[in-house]
């Protein structure tokens, strides 16, 4: 009697898993390992002197602080924009919907030059903001503006499909039970949107923390004021200090990974909690 063959529930799983691991190793794991290996050539004292120098620490505060703030701003206004695009019809809706993806297609250097020309002291908007004491270009505020610009599409495009698939019967049921519009949004709609919103926040933060092209022009690169961490890495590379550059990169990598891991954990917990609630 011929021996029966066992078939996998997922056809092609072994090949797909192998391809995924090889691709992940070549594109992500090997380059990351190279960064750590290059940094390991430094002694602990050398490593600490590089990553804890005052200019580098100031760049950490600006890069991570501005990235988190920009991602939070995008989480709020990106959700509002996605809500307007899904729930309302108005003239020019298709144009606005297409313009949201512009930061994806626009070269980052072009975006930086455009924002600098717009918010410079003699720019279209800067000439009115400067007399009010609001300095955008060549200041930390300019870094924030650039990061908000490049991160907005991530939130809109993650929240928008969830809103489109959201069943209006849930809102109607809440209204029939006496809930007002704010209560319906906070207790019914927002818990469903929260996992997607956290995903958009994480993507916007990840894009912002390593952004260089759109920030470098509007920041002004004033030492201890508006220097971003990627600029510190580029400066080390221009000085042929490859070990120092990778040391700063390792710190950015570790901090970013921890923050993203925490956000992903919060997202998974929120998704489980929402699923149990529904």
Q: Classify domain 67-277 at the CATH topology level.
A: MetI-like fold (1.10.3720)
Packing angle, helices 190-209 and 140-165, rounded to 10: 140
- In the block, residue with structure tokens 């980052």: 108
The DSSP secondary structure of 133-149, one letter per residue, reads: T---TTSHHHHHHHHHH
Boundaries of every domain in the chain: 67-277
Lowest-confidence pick of 1-15, 47-61, 198-212: 1-15
End-to-end CA distance of the chain: 51
- Mean pLDDT in residue range 174-200: 87
Encode burial over 212-239: b for 16+ CB neighbours within 10 A, e otherwise: bbbbbbbbbeeeeebbbbbbbbebbeee
Please state the φ and ψ torsions of residue 123, each to the nearest 5 degrees: -80, 175
54: confidence class by pLDDT, cuts 50, 70, 90: very high
Give the CA angle between residues 198, 202, 262 to the nearest 5°.
80
Q: Which residue has the higher pLDDT, 145 or 17?
A: 145
Q: What is the pTM of this model?
A: 0.86
Q: Give the whole-number percent of the chain exceeding pLDDT 70.
A: 92
- Mean pLDDT in residue range 109-117: 91
- Output the average pLDDT for the chain: 88
148 with 73: CB under 8 angstroms? Answer: yes
Residue 79 has pLDDT above 90, yes or no: yes
């Amino acid at each position: 009697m011929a021996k029966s063959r066992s078939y996998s529930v997922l056809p092609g799983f072994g090949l797909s898993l192998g391809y995924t691991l090889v691709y992940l190793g070549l594109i992500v794991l090997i380059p990351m390992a190279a960064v750590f290996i290059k940094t390991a050539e430094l002694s602990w004292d050398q490593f600490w002197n590089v990553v804890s120098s005052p200019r580098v620490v100031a760049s950490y505060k600006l890069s991570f602080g501005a990235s988190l703030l920009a991602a939070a701003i995008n989480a709020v206004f990106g959700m509002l924009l996605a809500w307007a695009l899904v729930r309302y019809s108005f003239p020019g809706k298709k144009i606005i919907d297409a313009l949201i993806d512009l930061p994806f297609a626009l070269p980052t250097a072009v975006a930086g030059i455009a924002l600098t020309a717009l918010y410079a002291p003699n720019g279209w908007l800067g000439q009115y903001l400067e007399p009010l004491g609001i300095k955008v270009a060549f200041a930390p505020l300019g870094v924030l503006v650039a990061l908000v610009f490049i991160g907005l599409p991530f939130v809109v495009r993650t929240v928008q499909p969830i809103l489109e698939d959201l069943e209006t019967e849930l809102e109607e049921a809440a209204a029939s039970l006496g809930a007002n519009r704010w209560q319906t949004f906070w207790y019914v709609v927002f818990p469903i949107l929260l996992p997607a919103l956290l995903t958009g926040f994480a993507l916007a933060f990840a894009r912002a923390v390593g952004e260089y092209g759109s920030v470098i022009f509007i920041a002004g690169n004033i030492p201890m004021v508006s220097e971003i961490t990627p600029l510190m890495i580029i400066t080390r590379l221009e000085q042929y200090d490859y070990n120092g550059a990778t040391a700063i990169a390792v710190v950015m990598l570790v901090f970013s990974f921890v923050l993203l891991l925490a956000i992903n954990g919060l997202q998974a917990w929120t998704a489980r909690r929402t699923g149990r609630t529904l």
